[in-house]
Amino acid sequence: MDEGVKRKLVGASALVMVALVVLPQLTPKSQNAEYLSESVPLETHIPAMDMPLPRSLSIPVSGLLAENQSAGEKVLMQDIKVDTELLPIQGFEVPVTDLNGQAALWQIQVGSFSKAENALKLRNKLRLAGFKAFEQLTNDNQHTRVFVGPSTQKSKLEKDLVKINKEFQLTGKLAPFQNR
């Protein structure tokens, strides 16, 4: 390639690089986009939106269910065919409902720990074993509790409780789910 063409290409690329680096530094409006908010008018006439809340939000949380309340009745269902595979369904427990008609949720409290690291270790072990485990701080932020659940299937959680107590040498307890 001719020496003059090489110099012109190098010079042109140097100018492009300088333009890409220096020009954004020279324009103050490229630093942030605050100037854009000045051009948007503030909405002062917001219409009233009187509409009912969804049922799940409009119902106040009722009292806890009694611990001796039995599980729901079993409903027999037919096997489901997905693509070419037949998936067997053993039974489905109809959830117990509270006074407001909401399905009751249950959870297993597995343990309570003063050190969060210990709670997280147990939570991870439970998850590796196939359980839906989570942790939650107590109201005083001093302890971390580990739970399995929640589920509307109380009878399944009762079976899981026996399995967890046996496999992990724990003494968990089944309780109504409280979302704080």
Q: Which residue has the higher pLDDT, 21 or 59?
A: 21
Instruction: State the Cα–Cα distance between residues 27 and 19, nearest whole angstrom.
Output: 12
CB 126 within 8 A of CB 164: yes
Helix 116-128 crosses helix 154-168 at what angle (to 10 degrees)?
Answer: 110
Answer whether residue 78 is part of any domain. no
Q: How far is CA 40 from CA 35, 43, 180, in A?
A: 10, 9, 39
What's the pLDDT band for 67 if we cut at 50, 70, 90?
A: low
| Amino acid (one-letter) located at 104 | A
pLDDT at 61 over 70: no
Structural domain boundaries, residue 167: 96-176
- What total of structural domains would you count in the chain? 1
Q: Where residue 168 sits, what CATH number does that domain have?
A: 3.30.70.1070
Answer whether residue 58 is part of any domain. no
Answer whether residue 29 is part of any domain. no
pTM score of the predicted model: 0.51
Mean pLDDT for the chain?
Answer: 79
Instruction: State the Cα–Cα distance between residues 153 and 72, nearest whole angstrom.
Output: 8
Answer whether residue 22 is part of any domain. no
What distance lies between CA 135 and its chain's CA centroid?
Answer: 12
Of 95, 97, 109, nearest to 62 by C-alpha is: 97
Task: Please report where in the chains the tokens 């709670």 appear, as a residue.
Answer: 119
What pLDDT score was predicted for residue 62? 46
Instruction: State the Cα–Cα distance between residues 95 and 72, nearest whole angstrom.
Output: 5
Answer whether residue 129 is part of any domain. yes
SS3 102: coil
Average pLDDT for residues 23-52, to the nearest whole number? 68
Answer whether residue 101 is part of any domain. yes
pLDDT at 121 over 90: yes
DSSP, res 93: E
What distance lies between CA 111 and its chain's CA centroid?
Answer: 21
